[in-house]
Amino acid sequence: MSVIDKYEAVIGLEVHAQLATNSKLFCGDSAAFGGEPNEHVSPITLGHPGTLPKTNKKAVEYAIRMGLACNCEIERYNYFARKNYFYPDLPKGYQISQHTTPICKGGYITIKAGNGSRNIQLNRIHLEEDAGKSIHDLDDYYTCVDYNRAGVALIEIVTEPDIFSAEEAWQYVTELRRLVRWISVCDGNMEEGSLRCDANVSIRLKGEKKLGTKVEVKNLNSIRNVKRAIEYEIDRMIEVVEKGGIITQQTRSFDAATDTTFAIRDKEEANDYRYFPEPDLSPFHLTEEFIQSVNKSLPALPQQLMFKYQSQLGLSEYDAAQICMEKETADYFEALILHTNNYKAAANWMNGPVRQYLNENKLSIEEFGLSPVQLADLLKLVEEGKINFSIASSRLFPAMLGSTYNTAFELAAELNLLQVSDANELEQWVDSVLDKMTDKVKEYKKGKRGLMGLFVGEVKKMSRGKADPKVVTELFEHKLNG
Ligand code: ADP
Ligand code: MG
């Protein structure tokens, strides 16, 4: 048994997601990303004396939305707490957060695990405001502060220590990002900091029940970095323990240039946040009615659609997963299957020619030039044998994207792409193949029946793919055996 196999990693993730509200959590300042530094700052954001916060109802709604999508229990009686600490990017000297009463409790997020799936248990989802940004590299002598982000609404999604490898952590953040985008509560843009992840990592001997001492790696800003940081931490901890050392509880940071982490502070230096209920905001009570209305507004979730596509429409897991990669694609597919019953063909088109076209042209499905009705029209033509799939995808499909036309059938006719099933027309090709291949015809007649494929293939070539192979085969059989 290798050294590594002796140990098991235990991971808990804390993800901050910036809510896609127009304004901030406690005032009307714009929550938009970017802007000139300190453009989105009113006296409330800046924490001037005498200003009062007011809770953004949309942010509360989004937090509940996320909670319901994760099967959390929704807290009916909510209040905010002050988390006090001093930092230049925190203009009030405290952050308004939720301490003992997170708006969502428990719940889980389902991730892919091996051939199946696994529920990663959540501890909580709570609402809080973001801090501003300190910029250290803009000026030679001073640190600059931009308060545009200060007060922007966040939810923090905290898992139980229920993740056991870097790979699982990768899957979890991938799934979380899809989910927040799917239900439109966050744009999921990690590069802009809309999703930020802190990874808590510990190791223990396999079979051990007690959790080991954890370190927390802060502010991972890509899914790749989440994975790399955890991989590095696990290796580092195993090495420490194997050398007889002990793990100290630390906060660490990830250096993407070297794929390593380094300590920024030990736990002894931890802040005492002196939490107390926020006196400037009254507690808010959530009615059943409001929670129900949020629930009703939720779209079908990826897991539900995955199940439906496999169990009801007979799609493969792979096809279903491709379609459910993002909500816009699933929406398109849902519209498409209102116009065709050939679900497998619909999925093949979406995951084949359509995806390829969109990728090649760097387009999103929303920018796709064919409506679901138009694509269904094309599918029908193939299904009815009026055109074969290969000509439909390689010639008619691009033609439909590049021109105006009435129906796919008319355009195919105009471009002379329709399958030729007319026996008279096909017969000429069949005869010319028989004339040309006299030797092969003799062999066939002696019993080499496998040559039929060759004959039909020749006609297909001559017709540039348009000859209906079924009719052609029949013609050959008639002429050779008759
Ligand atoms: P803290 O008070 O240090 O913030 P919490 O108990 O609030 O710690 O947990 C923060 C995160 O760390 C959660 O996601 C939790 O699952 C995770 N966590 C807690 N203990 C451990 C551990 N020993 N190993 C790995 N993750 C842990
Ligand atoms: Mg923490």
Which CATH number covers residue 445? 1.10.10.410
List the chain residues with pLDDT less than 50.
Answer: none
Distance from the alpha carbon of residue 56 to the mean position of ligand 2, in angstroms = 25
Residues 283 and 310 in one domain: no
| pLDDT score of 220 | 95
| pLDDT score of 411 | 93
Residues 140 and 248 in one domain: yes
Distance from the alpha carbon of residue 270 to the mean position of ligand 1, in angstroms = 14
DSSP per residue over 94-155, as a string? EEEE-SS--SEES-EEEEEETTEEEEEEEEEEEEEEPP-EEESSSSSS--EEE-TTTT-EEE
Residues 383 and 467 in one domain: no
Residues 385 and 320 in one domain: yes
By the 8 A CB rule, do 392 and 466 touch? no
- Which residues is 285 bridged to in the sheet? 77
| Residue that terminates a domain, selected from 414, 435, 463 | 414
| pLDDT score of 379 | 96
Structure tokens at 305: 């659609």
The number of the ligand nearest the C-alpha atom of 13 reads 1
| pLDDT score of 165 | 97
Q: Which mutation among 200, 216, 247, 252 tests ligand 1's pocket best, with the greatest number of atoms within 8 A of CB?
A: 200
| Residue that terminates a domain, selected from 414, 438, 459 | 414
Structure tokens at 49: 């004396």
Residues 59 and 139 in one domain: yes
CA dihedral sign, ordered 464, 470, 471, 474? positive
- Ligand 1 within 6 A of CB of 337: no
Predicted model pTM:
0.89
Residues 436 and 384 in one domain: no
| pLDDT score of 269 | 63
Residues 389 and 446 in one domain: no
Structure tokens at 104: 């969502």
Structure tokens at 294: 């949020």
Atom 7, ligand 1: residue with shortest CA distance: 158
- Ligand 1 within 6 A of CB of 47: no
Can you tell me which residue has the tokens 């019953």? 341
Residues 63 and 18 in one domain: yes
Is residue 159 classed exposed, middle or buried when 0-12, 13-18 and 19+ CB atoms within 10 A define those classes?
buried
Residues 239 and 144 in one domain: yes
Atom of ligand 1 nearest to the CA of 213: 23
Total domains present in the chain: 3
Residues 150 and 84 in one domain: yes
Structure tokens at 142: 């001073």
DSSP summary character for residue 406: S
Phi, psi of 16 (to 5 degrees): -95, 125
- Ligand 1 within 6 A of CB of 161: yes
By the 8 A CB rule, do 444 and 476 touch? no
By the 8 A CB rule, do 370 and 401 touch? yes
Residues 124 and 201 in one domain: yes
Domain that holds residue 304: 299-414
| Residue that terminates a domain, selected from 414, 439, 470 | 414
The number of the ligand nearest the C-alpha atom of 203 reads 1
| pLDDT score of 482 | 66
The number of the ligand nearest the C-alpha atom of 270 reads 1
Residues 26 and 170 in one domain: yes
Which amino acid appears at position 293 of this protein?
S
- Ligand 1 within 6 A of CB of 160: yes
